[in-house]
Structure 1
Amino acid sequence: MGQRNSTSLHDFILLGFSDHPKLEMALSGVVATFYLITLVGNTAIILASLLDSHLHTPMYFFLRNLSFLDLCFTTSIVPQMLVNLWGPHKTISYGGCVIQLYVYMWLGSIECLLLAVMSYDRFTAICKPLHYLVIMNPHLCLKMIIMVWSISLANSVVLCTLTLNLPRCGNNLLDHFLCELPAMLKIACIDTTAVELSVFALGIAIVLTPLILILISYGYIAKAVLRMKSRAGQRKAINTCGSHLTVVSIFYGAIIYMYLQPGNNASRGQGNFSPSFTPSSHQVSTLSFTL
């Protein structure tokens, strides 16, 4: 109660696993370790793909963007999470919470769309190899990246603005490690059905539509691989696409588990644990693209 009374009305209290201090310490070590792996691994990918002229290809252009995105994504989440896990005060200012909410939603949306763009790149490389460099020219790649970032920004602005405009009636306890949309919806003191429907509708557009396009791309890729007469060619195609499929499975699996289900049915442990580990788990998979 002392912490709650001393907290400004404009601050939020991030509960996380505050009622399990031993779990917090163990979790902080795991999160810090994966964060360091993320920083080192993605920085190495970016530098290697920039310095090696042989890697100046569309695939590595998108991979550089993915690595940069994930550096930003995890940095927008993990430092604040570690501060809350290590310290006795679990607060975040209203301004900090707003920034984190917008950035988290923006970067998360970008990742969904970028993975779909990367699947199209793999589809073109394997199904139309002779026209690959003509189709995936630098101008088109840049336009696709700009489109992905712009659409995702619009999605973040709409959803986060709708959520932040909901009255909270003094509620400032967020049952999470970060300022995240479902947790913000839960502390609203009015019926949030309209906003939840908006979240679900945009979730279909940002999450499920790219996932469907990815599955269609890999359907064509699978057909092309099966028609290959060369075993070496089949292995190369599978190795090229295997890492991307692993990333897609981890990322989209966690996102669908968290966002495309009724918010009130999610347990506290589920709501806190899943998104916190999505970026770190994703980074481990991303490193295999360079192999």
Structure 2
Amino acid sequence: MIKITVPATSANLGPGFDCLGLALDLYNDFYVEEIDEGLVIEGCLEEFKNENNLFYVSLKKALSELNEAVKGLKIVFDSRIPLKGGLGSSATCIIGGILGAFAIKGIEVDNDKVLKIAKTIENHPDNIVPALLGGITVAVIEDDKVYYEKFTTSESFEFIALSPDIELSTEEARRILPKNISLVDGVYNVSRAALLAMALSKGNKENIAVACNDKFHQNYRGQLIPDFFEILKFAKENGAITSFLSGAGPTIMIINEKENSILHEKLEKYLSTCERKWKMSVLNLEKDGAKINNCK
């Protein structure tokens, strides 16, 4: 079998709506092999064991684009990234499936080709690009092509993911957003997204804190998440560099200095007083992105 490992991602990073994203050292593993006939899917919920499975859909799409075919497929999931949690679980399936097609047919991976196929399935590059490449990425789609830049940040930073015991679909989170924004809010976000990318690349904590503010989506989506605004306020008051909604949510992502480890204990104590149950995961930036390995 072929093993494909794809990292979790966190998108938007506050003001970078649909363009900024980063990869984290939390992973989904997928095992795939060609079989004589049919489709066998294991290791996931029963509702996903069919031809509508996103990994399978992505793999078949890639085979079509590569002018290749298979007799049958066996796919095994080993998932650690929560569904509908704002940590890019869908992007792992998309990138994993496309890479699976390349691997099964022994075709050398071309990142631009992978992203061209991926964007036909997920038209927002903020998750698919870091899932493939790792690091922190800025990406846009122009004339049917994904353009991107990748960089890293200070190794003294950690990323604390806070996930409540609720699911929030991207569709639901998009419905609550306004159809139009003001020029003032547009300038606010564009300027901060540009500053944030540069500040992250240089590890400038003061500028990161200012640049992570947003007027496009967080104030709306935050209303769907219990204790969202209170948690952001608590993190800031206890030494976090900044915090933001991860993707469409409901996970909250905190950027913290590793030396401020006391924040872990403070957060756990605070979250225990909240109405909903929260899971805390302390993560690091995944620099390398998705990987393919041959298994016996």
TM-score, normalised with respect to structure 2: 0.28
TM-score, normalised with respect to structure 1: 0.28
Larger Rg: 1
Greater strand percent: which structure?
Answer: 2
Greater helix percent: which structure?
Answer: 1
